[in-house]
Amino acid sequence: MTPLALVTGATSGIGRAFAERLAADGYDLILTGRREDRLAEFAAAHPERRVRTVVADLATDDGIGTVAALCAAEPLTMLVNNAGVAHYMPLAQLPAAKAHELVHVKVAAPTMLTRAAVAGMQERGTGKIVNVAGMIAFSGPADTSVMPRRAVYAGSLAYLVALSQTLNAELADTGVRVQVLCPGVVATEFHERQGLDLSAVPRMSAEDVVTASLRGFELGEAVTAPGVEDAGLLDAVFRADLAAFGGQRPELASRYR
């Protein structure tokens, strides 16, 4: 059978790059996004592939429900949870509507879409799920002189790291693989839509990010960081996490007495 991928946020950036690469690799596609014109443009440019386009806003419960129903009904080979929004600002200044949008797009949507897709993938004994996060997921200890104030955004990406690692372990031996993809700064429209000019900052191409993701599956990675040359740095983070988790005792630590 022809492999089938569903890509969210497919109208630009990393999502569009995934769609292009997967089409070139022989996948049929279900593409979702807010821009009907861009989805239609992609489908028209790839008449050789079966491309279904679905306009959906993953900042809404209805949008999530629409795409989750597709994830449950279609025999997906790959799910790419890529839809994103930034809203970098201090938490006290983050409007409630923007906080709602961010949490829906980067937490609720990938959770519910993955939940909808994974049962069928397990039944078929194969499948890949990519949750697109970012290296900002690891930036919690950085002070504001180094990084913009971004508590909700960073927290949502950190959630995707924990979700993906835990679910990948949960699905061991089922034939289903889960990867969290953590690029750094990427040359897309993403920051421009937030009013941020990063033209002077070295940026990775979206195509290279996709190449890293697909190669990451071949390497057996649950966490793929396209711009981190020394993978041992990530391994050290995860070993430290497990050491802290395993270092707990039922007695109050001495520093709290």
**Looking at this protein, which amino acid is placed at residue 36?**
E
Tell me whether residue 256 is one of the annotated catalytic residues: no
Cα–Cα–Cα angle for 147, 194, 150, nearest 5°?
30
With b meaning 16 or more CB within 10 Å and e meaning fewer, what string describes 67-100? bbebbeebebbbbbbbbbbbbbbeeeebeeebee
Q: At what angle do helices 151-170 and 96-103 cross, to 10 degrees?
A: 20
Which listed residue (27, 88, 153, 159) is catalytic?
153
Q: Would the CA dihedral through 88, 227, 57, 196 be positive or negative?
A: positive
Quick one: how far is CA 38 from the chain centroid? Answer: 21
Measured at the CA of 93, the angle between CA 87 and CA 98, to 5 degrees, comes to: 40
Identify the sign of the CA torsion 149, 196, 133, 224: negative
Contact predicate 31/39, CB 8 Å: yes
Tell me how far CA of residue 221 lies from CA of 16, 86, 110, 168, 169, in angstroms: 23, 26, 19, 10, 11
Q: Give the residue numbers annotated as catalytic, written as ranges.
A: 153
